Chains A and B, each alone.
Chain A
């Protein structure tokens, strides 16, 4: 596995360079926005990557919480399975289809719903025990970085196109900002916690955050939204040549995110190993010496 790392680094570097070339030179200029629009090739792939990482964090956190007890572990498995099956079928019922927001295709929603059990079981298989928590830290940290890129490139793009840096009532802007805030507080909790069970606390907070985001989304549902409709699975339309470049950029960003996550994951594992070794060492030292300080003979 370790040998793959340099190979993947080289592949990612080449892919990023190729994606940059595609974005700046090959992609056609937008008819309305001119060259300004090219920031989309950084903005949108970062957003997708950030959301994917937060999703992974959520799944890992739920599973970590569920694994604490055998009964909840089994229950969680069945609940996740039920959500996937019922959700995917429900998307094709006419009553539900009518209620879907304009521009959301049922098969896109069904695929997203099916991704929940798929990710759940895949992550559970690949990351047993404490590794789930390591995955949660890694994905949250890297996700915050990508989300920051989204929040920085967004206003830079909005200023020339909309005339304003930030649209306060906008649904996607606000929910992304809230997501970012929640995950920053998640990282702050992890950093500041002195509990031996920080993982549990952090996992609980991640679940709260995941419950919060849909509520934020619906609370701003009322306002007219300024952000364009989603490009994939939504009503937005895009030139196929631009879409092609966008997907290449996303692939490059995903590879890059994977690379960063991988090294962060390994670092965190090593860090914990070192901590454990320290604990074992001090434990061994304590048993070797007389345990009670009062019993120590005067020197």
Chain B
């Protein structure tokens, strides 16, 4: 078993599990739908205002929805001591981490693709800046959330009330990424200022934290 074959085997397994149960996706979808509806009632914004607040709303909805999926990532492996089997197996720990992060990335991306049209409908959005820049912002932002989220989900596995623990650990560390996503999205939506700086910021964040996660994951996995 090489590094990549372990990664892809785990990824395939996760996707198949999710495809059959659709636990994470359904709960994420319904959760973010609720956020959209509640905010739409609460603010009732004009088109101009909604352009300024939509960036924040979208990412807050996705951030909270992502936590739902992230919490299930490792909890699934606790049943039948699967995680212990991983620990004693010679498979590289990083490969497991990468597969989990990629899996979460796919789930959250699917969620975003499904929810983005709803946001457009509910808030009457139409983009004034270069719309294609939303794609790198979404990809880099989602990766920033899930890479740290997967790591901290593994970390909070051995804590009391771990479902609460994950957001407590994840949100403070994610502040620069969330700022980059929200400010970048708002910059594109309003077309007031260029979003390049935020894309570079997100890219830097992704590179730094992906490296850190890969370097430290083995320690966290074996911290029984």
Question: Using a CB–CB distance below 8 Å, which chain A residues touch chain B?
Answer: 65, 68, 178, 181-182, 184-185, 188-189, 192-198, 200-201, 204-205, 207-209, 211-212, 215-216, 218-220, 222
Contacts and interface: CB of A to CB of B under 8 A. Distances in A.
A161 to B, nearest CB: 26
Contacts of B156: 189
Interface residues of B, number: 30
28 contacts: A65-B216, A178-B172, A181-B171, A182-B172, A182-B173, A185-B168, A185-B169, A188-B165, A193-B158, A193-B159, A195-B159, A195-B224, A196-B223, A196-B224, A197-B224, A200-B219, A204-B219, A205-B169, A207-B216, A208-B209, A211-B209, A212-B172, A212-B176, A215-B204, A216-B175, A218-B201, A219-B176, A222-B197
A196 B159 CA distance: 11
Interface string B44-63: 00000000000000000000
A178 B173 CA distance: 8
Given A195-B158, A201-B220, 17 more contacts: A184-B172, A189-B169, A193-B159, A195-B223, A195-B224, A200-B219, A200-B223, A204-B219, A204-B220, A208-B212, A211-B208, A212-B173, A212-B175, A215-B176, A215-B204, A218-B201, A219-B179
A154 B171 CA distance: 23
Given A200-B223, A201-B220, A207-B216, A216 B158 contact: no
Contacts of B169: 185, 188-189, 205
Interface string B72-93: 0000000000000000000000
Contact of A189 (B165, B197, B204): B165
B220 A200 contact: yes
Contacts, number: 89
Given A188-B165, A189-B159, A193-B158, A208 B173 contact: yes
Interface of B: 148, 155-156, 158-161, 165, 168-169, 171-173, 175-176, 179-180, 197, 201, 204-205, 208-209, 212, 216, 219-220, 222-224
Nearest to B223: A197
B208 A189 contact: no
A192 B160 contact: yes
A250 to B, nearest CB: 27
- Of all A-B residue pairs in the complex, the 3 with the closest CB atoms, nearest first, are A197-B223, A195-B158, A181-B172
B208 A65 contact: no
Contacts of B171: 181
Contacts of A193: 158-159
A162 to B, nearest CB: 22
B223 A201 contact: yes
Nearest to A203: B219
Contacts of B158: 193-195, 197, 201
A185 B159 contact: no
A182 B216 CA distance: 18
B176 A216 contact: yes
B161 A192 contact: yes
A204 B155 contact: yes
Nearest to A178: B175
Contacts of B179: 216, 219-220
A85 B176 CA distance: 30
B210 to A, nearest CB: 11
B167 to A, nearest CB: 10
Contacts of A194: 158-160
Nearest to A196: B224
Contacts of B148: 208
A224 to B, nearest CB: 14
A212 B204 CA distance: 11
A185 B164 CA distance: 11
Contacts of A211: 208-209, 212
A196 B224 CA distance: 6
Output the residue of A178, A201, A211, A218 with the most chain B CB within 10 A.
A201
Contacts of B197: 222
A222 B180 CA distance: 12
A148 to B, nearest CB: 15
A209 B168 contact: no
Given A215-B201, A219-B201, A65 B212 contact: no
B64 to A, nearest CB: 17
